[in-house]
Amino acid sequence: MADVELRQVSRSFQNLKVVHDIDIDIAEGEFVVLVGPSGCGKSTTLRMVAGLDRPSGGEIHIGGRLVNNVQARDRDIAMVFQSYALYPQMTVAQNMAFGLRIRKVPDGEVTQRIARVADILDLSELLQRKPHQLSGGQRQRVAMGRAMVRQPKVFLFDEPLSNLDAKLRVKMRAEIKKLHQMVATTTVYVTHDQVEAMTLADRVVVMNKGRIEQIGPPNDLYHEPASRFVAGFIGSPG
Ligand code: ADP
Ligand code: MG
């Protein structure tokens, strides 16, 4: 059974449909990237999986459970945003602990999880700093750490690297890939950057104007694009 399942999911704003009855099945442990030009409906789709926005139609299942009426904090997901969204007045450790405390995870376990994740993400020396004392890359790692300590069934990323300079973006891309190989958590990752999509994804979902143009492994998209749009967007010769 799919870990994340979108069935005929749509979303309209003021009668304007921006996501058109899309179907996506994501297997446990899979890394799926939603890619497409700005405004094509990627964030709206991800926000519906997160529970930050409600579908106008269709069903979303996470871990086999229909979640249409389940609010964000009760879904087994953790999301990382472009803007990091760290609490500025809290230390790194407090930022990482926050989502666990509101879910009543015992103190001892909070400390343990933070130590383990900080070790993986190379944040151990930074736990007592405030966000303004960190570089962009470090802040983004804290945002990822905050998601990881939750040990969710699914990670959701919305353009997590877009605020970083090009060099750091390439480095962080490699780190995210390595991280996924370590923890193998099901991941839905949104980007407008086709290179990022092709490097990170097990399967890519190419979106255009609220519709899915093609779903497949990067290689298939490159060698057998289903449309001119996909060929043009991915930059394949076809
Ligand atoms: P992407 O993430 O691919 O850039 P979005 O999902 O953010 O695209 O937006 C898809 C479309 O929906 C855009 O035309 C956007 O203007 C519109 N949209 C998104 N959120 C809202 C909203 N809250 N109210 C009205 N229109 C919205
Ligand atoms: Mg977006």
Q: For the chain, give the percent of residues with pLDDT over 90.
A: 80
Residue 236 phi/psi, 5° resolution?
Answer: -85, 160
> For the segment 61-117, what is each residue's pLDDT rounded down to a tens digit?
999 999 999 999 899 999 998 777 899 999 999 999 999 999 999 999 999 999 999
Q: How far is the CA of 39 from the centre of ligand 2 (A)?
A: 7
For range 146-174, the mean pLDDT:
90
Q: Which of 11, 13, 206, 208 most suits a substitution to test ligand 1, by most atoms within 8 Å of the C-beta? A: 13
| Residue appearing with tokens 């472009």 | 82
Q: For the chain, give the percent of residues with pLDDT over 70.
A: 98
Q: How far is the CA of 35 from the centre of ligand 2 (A)?
A: 10
At 156 the three-state DSSP class reads: strand
Distance, in Å, from the CA atom of 176 to the CA atom of 186, rounded to the nearest integer, reads: 13
The residues, ordered by sequence, that sit 6+ positions from 65 with a Cβ below 8 Å of its Cβ are none
> For the segment 2-24, what is each residue's pLDDT rounded down to a tens digit?
899 999 999 999 999 999 999 99
Radius of gyration of the chain (CA): 18
Distance, in Å, from the CA atom of 133 to the CA atom of 30, rounded to the nearest integer, reads: 34
Closest atom of ligand 1 to 11 CA is: 12
Q: How far is the CA of 40 from the centre of ligand 1 (A)?
A: 8
Closest atom of ligand 1 to 37 CA is: 3
| Residue appearing with tokens 């004392």 | 133
Nearest to 54 by CA among 18, 23, 11: 11
23: how many CB neighbours lie within 10 A of its CB?
12
Its pTM stands at: 0.94
- The residues facing 81 across adjacent strands are 158
* Nearest CA owner, ligand 1 atom 25: 13
Distance, in Å, from the CA atom of 197 to the CA atom of 216, rounded to the nearest integer, reads: 12
Distance, in Å, from the CA atom of 149 to the CA atom of 185, rounded to the nearest integer, reads: 12
Residue type at position 93: A
> For the segment 19-48, what is each residue's pLDDT rounded down to a tens digit?
999 999 999 999 999 999 999 999 999 999
Question: DSSP string covering 2-69, please?
Answer: -SEEEEEEEEEETTEEEEEEEEEEE-TT-EEEEE-STTSSHHHHHHHHHTSS--SEEEEEETTEE-TT
The mean pLDDT value of the chain amounts to: 94
* Nearest CA owner, ligand 1 atom 13: 39
Closest atom of ligand 1 to 41 CA is: 6
Q: How far is the CA of 36 from the centre of ligand 2 (A)?
A: 9
> For the segment 40-72, what is each residue's pLDDT rounded down to a tens digit?
999 999 999 999 999 999 999 999 999 999 999
Closest atom of ligand 1 to 45 CA is: 6
Provide residues with CB under 6 Å of ligand 1.
Answer: 13, 18, 36, 38-44
* Nearest CA owner, ligand 1 atom 14: 39
